[in-house]
């Protein structure tokens, strides 16, 4: 197998879409007055934490596979906010999570990692129809966020 370090757009899309789906499940069981109290800054903070876990595990996999010393990618807050507002579709999410899982699984401790736990939860929340659907090949609809990444890479602001 091979391993590839995923970019910040991919990590942000997966982490933010996971947060949005988790909130949707929670909201089903709570009264409106309580679900409306979810703080946007808490969502961003939670997404940053999950993104950091995912990025770290991905770098660990690449480093194990190639005996390298890659640092985890940093995920800009602008990307997190973008995908919290525009999460991936079910099929896009399935494709992106499956890709992440493949790129992060190289080292022996992956199966007991927090990232693996998150990936398992992510896959459990995807409807079967999306898992059976053909994958979307246009970079999972993340092309809009590309301009955010490019601006950040060039020292600009998103």
- Tens-digit pLDDT profile for residues 49-106: 999 999 999 999 999 999 999 999 999 999 999 999 999 999 899 999 999 999 999 9
Higher pLDDT: 138 or 11? It is 11
CA distance linking residue 27 with residue 34, whole number of Å: 9
State the burial class of residue 110 (Cβ atoms within 10 Å of its Cβ: 0-12, 13-18, 19+): middle
Task: Indicate if the pLDDT at residue 38 is higher than 70.
Answer: no
In a domain, residue 87? The reply is: yes
Percentage with pLDDT > 90 across the chain: 64
In a domain, residue 104? The reply is: yes
Q: Give the pLDDT band of residue 31 (cuts 50, 70, 90).
A: confident
Task: Indicate if the pLDDT at residue 127 is higher than 90.
Answer: no
Chain centroid to CA 157: how far? Answer: 22
Percentage with pLDDT > 70 across the chain: 78
Longest dimension (CA), the chain: 52
In a domain, residue 144? The reply is: yes
Higher pLDDT: 20 or 24? It is 20
113: containing domain: 8-153
Provide the number of structural domains found in the chain: 1
In a domain, residue 3? The reply is: no
> What pLDDT, on the 0 to 100 scale, is given for residue 53?
98
Higher pLDDT: 157 or 32? It is 32
In a domain, residue 1? The reply is: no
> What pLDDT, on the 0 to 100 scale, is given for residue 35?
62
């Amino acid at each position: 197998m091979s391993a590839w370090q995923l970019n910040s757009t991919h990590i942000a899309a997966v982490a933010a879409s996971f947060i949005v789906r988790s909130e949707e499940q929670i909201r089903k069981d709570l009264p409106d007055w309580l679900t409306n109290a979810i703080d946007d800054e808490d969502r961003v903070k939670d997404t940053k934490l999950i993104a950091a876990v995912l990025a770290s595990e991905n770098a660990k996999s690449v480093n194990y596979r190639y005996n390298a010393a890659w640092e985890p990618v940093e995920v800009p807050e602008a990307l997190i906010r973008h995908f919290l507002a525009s999460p991936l579709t079910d099929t896009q999410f399935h494709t992106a999570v499956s890709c992440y899982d493949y790129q992060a699984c190289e080292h022996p401790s992956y199966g007991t990692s927090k990232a693996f736990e998150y990936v398992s939860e992510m896959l459990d929340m995807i409807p079967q129809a999306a898992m059976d659907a053909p994958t979307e090949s246009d970079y999972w609809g993340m092309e809009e966020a590309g301009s955010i990444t490019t601006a950040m890479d060039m020292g600009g602001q998103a």
